[in-house]
Amino acid sequence: MEFVVMYSLREGVDRSHVLETYPRHKAYYEAFRADGGGLVALGPFQTPDPAGGSMGIFTSREDAERFIADDPFVTKGLADPRILEWNVVRFE
């Protein structure tokens, strides 16, 4: 089982705040991954709406919760995350 963190921007968030915060978010997820944090993949959805959301895939609920706790997008009040259990079937 893996865990998916779904992000959506909070209602009324100024997009400029997202762009200002993104470099800290990127540094955060790169450090989290480098430290073996169980981050498998992440990224935004390609939609016409810049608030279309994004997701991250984690190997454990604990890693997903730990990621959310210190992610600048969350700590700055820009995004509302939720964690979903994912019974993934992989074809490799």
Q: Band of the pLDDT at 92, cuts 50, 70, 90?
A: confident
Which tens digits make up the pLDDT trace of 26-56? Answer: 999 999 999 998 999 999 998 776 667 899 9
Comparing C-alpha atoms, which of 49, 58, 42, 62 is closest to residue 15? 49
Comparing C-alpha atoms, which of 45, 82, 53 is closest to residue 67? 82
Residues 4-19 have a mean pLDDT of 91
Rounded to the nearest integer, the mean pLDDT of the chain is: 93
Question: What whole-number distance in Å separates Cα of residue 15 and Cα of residue 31?
Answer: 24
Q: Report CA-CA distances (Å) from 17 to 23, 37, 72, 81, 85.
A: 11, 26, 11, 17, 30
Cβ-contact 2, 58 below 8 angstroms: yes
- How confident is the model at residue 50, as a pLDDT? 61
What pTM was estimated for this model as a whole? 0.89
Fold of 2-86: Alpha-Beta Plaits (3.30.70)
- How confident is the model at residue 48, as a pLDDT? 72
**Domain range summary for the chain, segments of one domain joined by +:** 2-86
Looking at per-residue pLDDT, the higher value among 92 and 49 belongs to 92
Question: What whole-number distance in Å separates Cα of residue 92 and Cα of residue 84?
Answer: 23
